[in-house]
A and B are shown apart, each in its own frame.
Chain A
Amino acid sequence: MPDATRPMIEIDTVTRSYGDFHALDRASLTIKEGEFFSLLGPSGCGKTTLLRLIAGFDQPTSGSIAIDGQPMDGIPANARPTNMVFQSYAIFPHLKVGENVAYGLKRMKLGAAEEKRRVDEALSMVSLAGLQNRGATELSGGQRQRVALARALVMRPKVLLLDEPLSALDKKLREQMQVELRRLQKAVGITFILVTHDQYEALAMSDRIAVMFGGRIAQVATPKEIYQKPVNRQVADFLGGMNFIKADLVEENGDSIVVDTAAFGRVKTDRPRAFAAKDREATLGIRPERLRVLWDDATAKHEIAGTVVERHYFGEITHLVVDVPGMEKPLSVTETNDFGADDLPLGAKIRLGYDPDALVALAD
Chain B
Amino acid sequence: MSAVRRLAANWLPAYAVLFILFLYLPVLLLPLFSLNNSASPRFPLSGFTLKWYAGLPKTPALLDAAWNSLIVGVSAAVLATVLGICAARALTRYRFRGQRAMQGLIMAPLVMPEIIVAVSILIIVLALGMPLTLLTVTLGHVLVCVPYSISVLISGFEGFDRSLEEASADLGETSFGTFRRVTLPMMAPAIISSLLVGFTISLDDFMMAFFLGGNDVTLPVYIWGQLRFAARLPGVLALGTLLLVASIVLLTIAELMRRRAQERTQTTGGLLA
CB pair A77 B270 closer than 8 Å: no
CB pair A91 B171 closer than 8 Å: no
Main secondary structure of the interface of B (DSSP, over half): helix
Interface residue B252 (Cβ < 8 Å from any Cβ of A): no
Interface residue B267 (Cβ < 8 Å from any Cβ of A): yes
Interface residue A57 (Cβ < 8 Å from any Cβ of B): yes
Q: Mark A54-97, 1 if CB is under 8 A from B, else 0.
A: 01010000000000000000001111001110111111111000
Instruction: Give the Cβ gap from B32 to chain A, nearest Cβ, in Å.
Output: 44
Known contacts A83-B171, A137-B267; is-contact A90 B185 (Cβ 8 Å): no
Residue of A with least CB distance to B181: A103
Known contacts A88-B271, A141-B270, A168-B270; is-contact A57 B171 (Cβ 8 Å): no
Per the 8 Å Cβ criterion, residues 176-207 of B in contact with A are 177, 181-182, 185-186
Interface residue B18 (Cβ < 8 Å from any Cβ of A): no
Instruction: Give the Cβ gap from B181 to chain A, nearest Cβ, in Å.
Output: 8
Per the 8 Å Cβ criterion, residues 137-186 of B in contact with A are 161, 163-164, 166-174, 177, 181-182, 185-186
CB pair A90 B273 closer than 8 Å: no
CB pair A104 B172 closer than 8 Å: yes
Bound CA span A92–B183, Å: 10
Known contacts A94-B264, A141-B273, A168-B271; is-contact A88 B163 (Cβ 8 Å): yes
- CB-CB under 8 A from A76, the residues of chain B are 169
**A84, A90, A103, A145, most chain B CB atoms within 10 A:** A90
Bound CA span A107–B180, Å: 13
CB pair A104 B173 closer than 8 Å: yes
CB pair A86 B186 closer than 8 Å: no
Interface residue A151 (Cβ < 8 Å from any Cβ of B): yes
Bound CA span A84–B269, Å: 16
Instruction: Give the Cβ gap from B165 to chain A, nearest Cβ, in Å.
Output: 9
Interface residue A11 (Cβ < 8 Å from any Cβ of B): no
Instruction: Give the Cβ gap from A80 to chain B, nearest Cβ, in Å.
Output: 8
Bound CA span A316–B174, Å: 53
Interface residue B99 (Cβ < 8 Å from any Cβ of A): no
Interface residue A144 (Cβ < 8 Å from any Cβ of B): yes
CB pair A107 B172 closer than 8 Å: yes
Bound CA span A118–B125, Å: 61
- CB-CB under 8 A from B169, the residues of chain A are 57, 76-78
Bound CA span A167–B269, Å: 13
Interface residue A341 (Cβ < 8 Å from any Cβ of B): no
Residue of A with least CB distance to B266: A93
Known contacts A90-B164, A93-B186; is-contact A55 B264 (Cβ 8 Å): no
Interface residue A362 (Cβ < 8 Å from any Cβ of B): no
Residue of B with least CB distance to A88: B270
Interface residue A53 (Cβ < 8 Å from any Cβ of B): no
Interface residue B268 (Cβ < 8 Å from any Cβ of A): yes
Known contacts A90-B161, A90-B163; is-contact A107 B268 (Cβ 8 Å): no
Residue of A with least CB distance to B177: A107
Known contacts A90-B163, A92-B182; is-contact A103 B168 (Cβ 8 Å): yes
CB pair A88 B171 closer than 8 Å: no
CB pair B166 A93 closer than 8 Å: no
Known contacts A94-B185, A137-B267, A168-B271; is-contact A88 B161 (Cβ 8 Å): yes
- CB-CB under 8 A from B164, the residues of chain A are 90, 92
- 12 further A-B pairs in the complex, CB-CB below 8 A; given A55-B170, A77-B170, A145-B270: A77-B166, A78-B169, A86-B163, A88-B270, A90-B167, A92-B168, A92-B182, A93-B186, A94-B186, A94-B264, A103-B168, A103-B181
Please list the residues of chain B having a beta carbon within 8 angstroms of any beta carbon in chain A: 161, 163-164, 166-174, 177, 181-182, 185-186, 264, 267-271, 273
Leading 4 A-B pairs by shortest Cβ distance: A104-B171, A90-B167, A90-B163, A89-B270
Can you list 20 A-B contacts (CB < 8 A)?
A: A76-B169, A77-B170, A78-B169, A78-B170, A78-B173, A82-B170, A84-B167, A86-B166, A86-B167, A87-B163, A87-B270, A90-B163, A90-B268, A90-B270, A93-B186, A94-B185, A94-B264, A104-B172, A145-B270, A155-B171
